[in-house]
Amino acid sequence: KNKEIMEKKEEIKKIVSDNSSNEIPTELKLWDGEVVNVVGPLEKNTSLLEVLYPVTFTLSIVIAGILVFIMVLRRSTDAAILRILGVKEKEVRWNLFRENLILVLIGISLACITVFAISIKSYPIDLVKYIMVTGGYMLGTIAGLIFGIGKVTNKKPLEMLQVKE
């Protein structure tokens, strides 16, 4: 509302000074120095956040993919042991995919609950952006899973068990 007052300041001054029904001339004085000092930096911060949003969105997708890729690579010995024991490659892939997806879904659920619990009384959340970020994180996760599982299961089991020095 203070921003609206600042935008219409000249119009309000004109209305107050043109008041012909008053015998005493009136003048509008807005003590807006503090408002200007506070609103200015807030507007700069808001514009900076609007610029940073796409960057953080992209980074969250990339980080999700890389984290899940690393998680799958760390499980390569487990996948190799399953393959040596006779489990089909398709089943190993499906098990790796399910396990990691469940872990990510638990993490996202905990994050959503925490964010809503913290922000429920302090400020509203733009749900569209929140859903976009969560969906982007899921897309990054699935991409990382597909690349990681492909890298792990396309090797021969004995090749995955070899320790490289």
Q: What is the pLDDT of residue 121?
A: 76
Q: What is the pLDDT of residue 53?
A: 83
Alpha-carbon distance of 65 to 129, in angstroms, equals: 20
Q: Does 107 have pLDDT greater than 80?
A: yes
Where does the pLDDT of residue 45 fall: very low under 50, low under 70, confident under 90, or very high at 90 and above? confident
> What DSSP designation does 58 have?
H
Residue 14 CA, chain-centre distance (Å), reads 46
- More confident site: 62 or 128: 62
Q: How far is CA 140 from CA 37, 49, 66, 91, 104, in A?
A: 41, 22, 8, 23, 11
Where does the pLDDT of residue 35 fall: very low under 50, low under 70, confident under 90, or very high at 90 and above? low
Least confident of 3-12, 26-35, 56-65, 103-112: 26-35
Instruction: Express each pLDDT in 47-98 by its tens digit.
Output: 887 888 888 889 889 998 999 999 888 888 888 888 889 889 899 999 999 9
Q: What is the pLDDT of residue 132?
A: 86
Q: Does 165 have pLDDT greater than 60?
A: no
Nearest to 146 by CA among 102, 97, 83, 87: 97
Mean pLDDT value of segment 7-16: 73
Q: What is the pLDDT of residue 125?
A: 75
